[in-house]
Amino acid sequence: MGEVRYLGVNKSLFKNEYKKSVALPFEMLEKYGFYFSYYKGDKEAGDYKRCDRFDVYYENGGSLIEAMKFIAGRLAEMEKKKEMASKVAFMLADYFFILTGDINQIPTQESILKTLGTLRSLWAVLVRAAQDECGLVADSSFNPYVFPNRTVTFRKGKKSICKFEITANRLHIRLPLTFEIAKALVKRRATLSGSINESIHHFGCINCGKCAEQSNIVIVEGVPLCSLPYGGFITDDSHCLAFDVTVEDETRVICDILLSISR
């Protein structure tokens, strides 16, 4: 009862790990309920610059400090070569990875839904269609240079069918189409959303070098489509939907396409 818990930090050890200015991160921590005491030897120091050690407190209790200490220790025990660097795991607060060493492959996990915000319901519809109706398997990965950022790839066997980039309040799709599916989509473009139409506007020859004088290009209602077989790493880009998913109508189109591809 009445015990005050804190994290004691040796300044020299801290500086070996964090070489940037502490002004901004300490200021941000203070806004979220953390506070600091600075010491030089046995005496209290006025600030970080004058101290050789400091204590970190959390105003709403010590449990968070203990949890942070546990997580840091757990990450230090992991092998260096993992799917995600330990510092990235701590930053992203992916506790599944921290405790197991593996990336959580559940595409509807709460951390993803929170990142998507108001788009979470659209994502739930897309995941259900991809997994339950099309039998695709989700494969998640992190981009350690952007926070928060995940890429979820839906695969059929070893083949990638589509990719979703998930960032804060943003859901971006990259969905390569077969020639026939692209052709059918162009013919119904008058009924499609502006984002999909804008993506269709970019269909065309990508000069992959697999034909002479664009001999494989077929004009469908004014849109140039490459007729080469679907599945080429480069030729997929000639008719690939790439846009931010924002409305329900777009999810319906995507679900229809996934069903067509997976048949």
Q: How distant, in Å, are the alpha carbons of 2, 33, 84, 89, 152 from that of 92?
A: 32, 20, 10, 5, 16
Span 214-234, mean pLDDT?
Answer: 82
Amino acid at the residue 93: A
Distance (Å, whole) CA 93 – CA 95: 6
Output the pLDDT for position 62. Answer: 66
Span 194-216, mean pLDDT?
Answer: 89
Which secondary-structure segment (H or E) carries 175?
Answer: strand 170-176
Instruction: Determine contact, residues 245/173, Cβ cutoff 8 Å.
Output: yes
Output the pLDDT for position 88. Answer: 76
Comparing 30 with 59, the larger pLDDT belongs to 30
pTM: 0.76
Distance (Å, whole) CA 184 – CA 199: 15
Q: Token pair for residue 143? A: 């981009």
According to DSSP, residue 229 is labeled: P
Span 14-28, mean pLDDT?
Answer: 91
Output the pLDDT for position 66. Answer: 84
| pLDDT tens-digit map of 178-193 | 999 999 999 999 999 8
∠ CA 252-258-263, rounded to 5°: 130
Please, what is the average pLDDT of the chain?
A: 88
In the structure, what pLDDT confidence band is assigned to residue 1 with cuts at 50, 70 and 90? very low
In the structure, what pLDDT confidence band is assigned to residue 99 with cuts at 50, 70 and 90? confident
- Whole-number CA gyration radius for the chain: 25
Output the pLDDT for position 59. Answer: 79
Comparing 209 with 81, the larger pLDDT belongs to 209
